[in-house]
């Protein structure tokens, strides 16, 4: 068993690096003409409004923390006229992820940090292209893909057709694998393992090819399911693994960064369209700032989060080599995995995120 001791990277520089961004020159959606600060200095009075904001993860998770910062920023920069309240753990939808997405589209929830894969699984399956295994090789590459250019435009248009306005995304993290049974280094190690996945055919088919029994369930139910042995394992980024203490009931962690996850900052489209130009500009300005912070938090905290897992008594964290990961990739390629999803989601989706070129299709 490989248990690699990792150096703890204390996050004293987060405050500085967060504002500097998490790599690259990418940004959220282009702001409307005239920034919120410019409007405020010109004496603009924003309309008074109250907004509810939702996310599927808990209080200590990055998306909730950054969502609260977004709410505070809106209040401050609007002179107190825009009051937004953050609700974690899908409180507004009774703990049901799918219902939460439906409520955003219907206007019962005004705005959210919602996982892109959850929105895709429920209303826009072609967006699961973002989650294809080993599509992105770095956080810089992923951040640029979902926040700028063709990728941003594709996500915005696809969600817009379903009643949701997309302003950009923060990292949810590259997904790692945890389980309570054994160290996983090869596809054979996964055979017959019951694994919770977030839903969506991209995830289900991946683990079926690896010989697993993938099970879909809401995130709010996951810790109890792991604790009681209803499922053997799960896959999520380090932020969610540590803030939800999955490592306390999952002895084995495999670091393989197989799929990229993002939280989209979204509004109900009808609500968004009701805002005047100055209000939209202010919201876009705040969105751009918190997206930089949210991305940086994930990047800067991962080494410390890995060490938390390693330090928990009895735990093993295994970092797979490139050669070991290639065996998993080959298994998907041999199974016609990428061709299947190209046919299912179409060339526009694959081209938007560079998937055709990446996988030689």
The three-state (H, E, C) secondary structure of the chain, written as one string? CCCCCCCCCCCCCHHHHHHHCCCCCCCCCCCCCCCHHHHHHCCCCCCCEEEEEEECCCCCCHHHHHHHHHHHHHHHHCCCCEEEEEECCCHHHCCCHHHHHHHHHHCCCCEEEEEHHHHHHHHCHHHHHHHCCCCCCCHHHHHHHHHCHHHHHHHHHHHHCCCEEEEEEEEEEECEEEECCCCCCCHHHHCCCEEEECCCHHHHHHHHHCCCEEEECCHHHHHHHHHHCCCCEEEECHHHHHHCCHHHCCCEEEECCCCEEEEEEEEEHHHHHHCCHHHHHHHHHHHHHHHHHHHHHHHHHHHHHHHHHHHCCCCEEEECCHHHHHHHHHHHHHCCHHHHHHHHHCHHHHHHCCHHHHCCC
For residue 101, is it within any domain? yes
For residue 12, is it within any domain? no
125/46 same-domain check: yes
| pLDDT value of position 42 | 57
119/134 same-domain check: yes
Please give the tally of structural domains in the chain: 2
Can you give the pLDDT of all 361 residues of the chain as single tens digits? 433 333 333 333 333 333 333 333 333 333 333 444 544 545 789 999 999 999 999 999 999 999 999 999 999 999 999 999 999 999 999 999 999 999 999 999 999 999 999 999 999 999 999 999 999 999 999 999 999 999 999 999 999 999 999 999 999 999 999 999 999 999 999 999 999 998 899 999 999 999 999 998 888 899 999 999 999 999 999 999 999 999 999 999 999 999 999 999 999 999 999 999 999 999 999 999 999 999 999 999 999 999 999 999 999 999 999 999 999 999 999 999 999 999 999 999 999 999 999 999 9
| pLDDT value of position 188 | 97
50/155 same-domain check: yes
64/133 same-domain check: yes
For residue 251, is it within any domain? yes
| pLDDT value of position 342 | 98
**Global confidence as pTM:** 0.86
| pLDDT value of position 43 | 74
110/141 same-domain check: yes
95/137 same-domain check: yes
194/129 same-domain check: no
81/150 same-domain check: yes
| pLDDT value of position 199 | 81
139/280 same-domain check: yes
| pLDDT value of position 1 | 41
Query: What's the domain range around 113?
Result: 36-174+261-300
The CATH number of residue 168's host domain is 3.40.190.170
151/229 same-domain check: no
For residue 30, is it within any domain? no
């Amino acid at each position: 068993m490989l248990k690699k001791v990792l150096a703890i990277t204390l996050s004293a520089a987060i405050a500085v690096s967060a504002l500097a961004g998490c790599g690259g020159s990418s940004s959220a959606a282009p702001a409307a003409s005239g920034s919120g600060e410019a409007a405020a200095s010109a004496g603009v009075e924003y309309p008074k409004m109250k907004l509810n904001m939702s996310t599927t993860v808990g209080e200590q998770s990055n998306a909730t923390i950054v969502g609260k910062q977004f709410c505070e920023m809106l209040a401050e920069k609007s002179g107190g006229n825009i009051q937004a309240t953050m609700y974690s753990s899908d409180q507004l939808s009774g703990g049901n992820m799918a219902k939460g997405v439906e409520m955003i589209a219907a206007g019962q929830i005004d705005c959210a940090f919602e996982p892109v894969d959850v929105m895709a699984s429920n209303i826009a399956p072609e967006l699961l292209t973002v989650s294809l295994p080993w599509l992105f090789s770095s956080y810089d590459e992923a951040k640029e893909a979902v926040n700028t250019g063709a990728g941003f435009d594709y996500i915005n248009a696809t969600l817009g057709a379903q009643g949701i306005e997309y302003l950009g995304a923060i990292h949810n993290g590259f997904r790692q694998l945890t389980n309570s049974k054994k160290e996983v280094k090869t596809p054979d190690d996964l055979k017959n393992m019951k694994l919770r996945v977030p839903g969506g055919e991209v995830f289900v088919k991946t683990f079926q090819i690896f010989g697993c029994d993938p099970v879909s369930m809401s995130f709010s139910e996951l810790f109890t399911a792991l604790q009681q042995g209803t499922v053997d394992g799960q896959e999520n980024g380090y932020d969610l693994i540590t803030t939800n203490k999955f490592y306390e009931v999952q002895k084995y962690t495999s670091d393989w960064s197989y799929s990229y996850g993002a939280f989209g900052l979204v509004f109900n489209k009808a609500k968004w369209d009701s805002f005047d130009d100055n209000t939209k500009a202010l919201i876009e300005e705040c969105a751009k700032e918190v997206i930089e912070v949210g991305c940086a938090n994930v990047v800067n905290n991962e080494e410390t989060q890995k060490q938390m897992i390693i330090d928990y008594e009895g735990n093993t964290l295994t970092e797979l080599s490139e050669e070991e990961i290639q065996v998993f990739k080959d298994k998907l390629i041999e199974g016609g995995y990428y061709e299947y999803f190209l046919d299912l989601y179409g060339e526009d989706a694959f081209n938007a995120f560079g998937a055709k070129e990446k996988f030689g299709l």
